[in-house]
Amino acid sequence: MVGIVLVSHSLELARGLADLTSQVAGTEVRVEPAGGGPGGTLGTNSDSVREAIARADDGQGVVVLADLGSSILTVRHLLEGRPNGHVRLVDAPFVEGAVAAAVMCAAGQGLEDVARAAESARGASKF
Amino acid sequence: MVPASSEATVNLPEGVALHARPAGAFVKTALGFGAKVLVASNGKQADAKSILAVLALGALGGSELRLVADGDDAAAAVDALARCVRNLSE
């Protein structure tokens, strides 16, 4: 099953979103939160992202969503060394993209379709 | 060959809105079929394979859902989704 990594400046935010996606999509999906700085401060670091990717990856690929600014840069920098597309940073709204991706993962869809669902979340109306 | 089409109307169980876990279960079921499936509620329509579209329907417990599927496995998709809806719980 494709896995998901959620990268936020706030580990609490990433964890909360992981909980939400699990509630909607089911607990069988690997949704791994990453982020936060030392001692509970806000920030991102590539070590926590690298570890989360390793936890999320069962061989079917990983979709990474990040919140804003430097968390995006952290992920992009990390993935420069992995050009094969097995781990994919998607340009998607954090909450909606994560929920859309998680349901696709749970339904056994492939990396390409999961990434597309996350990115198309940008155009979705809420009501 | 013209793709097969199938439709059904089913009510959400009382007290079970099509949100969070129930919506996820519904969409995961729809994704198991090749047919294109639309779900309509309260004058709005959504792609049954899109969790965000299904959540945006805001379908409340007890309300009516209209399922319309097109494709080779349309009948099976509608049957499975109708069964899924009837069995949803909070």
Pairwise CB contact (< 8 Å): B28 & A26: yes
CA distance B46 to chain A (A): 11
What is the DSSP secondary-structure string of A36-87?
Answer: --GGG-S---HHHHHHHHHHH-SSS-EEEEE-SHHHHHHHHHHHTT-TTSSE
pLDDT confidence of residue A82: 85
pLDDT confidence of residue B65: 98
Distance, in Å, from the CA atom of B21 to the CA atom of A121, rounded to the nearest integer, reads 18
pLDDT confidence of residue B90: 85
b/e map A15-28, b = 16+ CB within 10 Å: bebbebbbebbbee
pLDDT tens readout for residues B10-62? 999 999 999 999 999 999 999 999 999 999 999 999 999 999 999 999 999 99
Q: Three-state DSSP class for B54?
A: helix
pLDDT at B84 over 70: yes
**Which of A24, A105, A127 to mutate against chain B (most B CBs within 10 Å)?**
A24
Task: Give the CATH number, domain containing residue B15.
Answer: 3.30.1340.10
| pTM of the predicted protein model | 0.95
Closest CA to B52 of A31, A25, A91: A25
Q: Is some CB atom of chain B closer than 8 A to the CB atom of A4?
A: no
> How many structural domains does chain B have?
1
Q: What does CATH list as the number for A3-122?
A: 3.40.50.510
Residue B2 — pLDDT band, cuts 50, 70, 90? low
The mean of the pLDDT values for chain B is: 96
Choosing from B5, B8, B10, B19, which is the catalytic residue? B19
Distance, in Å, from the CA atom of A32 to the CA atom of A38, rounded to the nearest integer, reads 18
Q: Which residue of A has its CA nearest to B21?
A: A24
Distance, in Å, from the CA atom of B13 to the CA atom of B66, rounded to the nearest integer, reads 14
Distance, in Å, from the CA atom of B26 to the CA atom of B22, rounded to the nearest integer, reads 6
Distance, in Å, from the CA atom of A119 to the CA atom of A112, rounded to the nearest integer, reads 11
Q: What's the domain range around B75?
A: 5-86
B13 is catalytic: no
Q: Is some CB atom of chain B closer than 8 A to the CB atom of A96?
A: yes
Overall average pLDDT of the A7-18 stretch = 97
The single-letter DSSP state of residue B34 is S
pLDDT tens readout for residues A65-86? 999 999 999 999 999 988 789 9
Pairwise CB contact (< 8 Å): A25 & B32: no
The mean of the pLDDT values for chain A is: 96
pLDDT confidence of residue A83: 79
Any idea where the domains of chain A sit in the sequence? Answer: 3-122
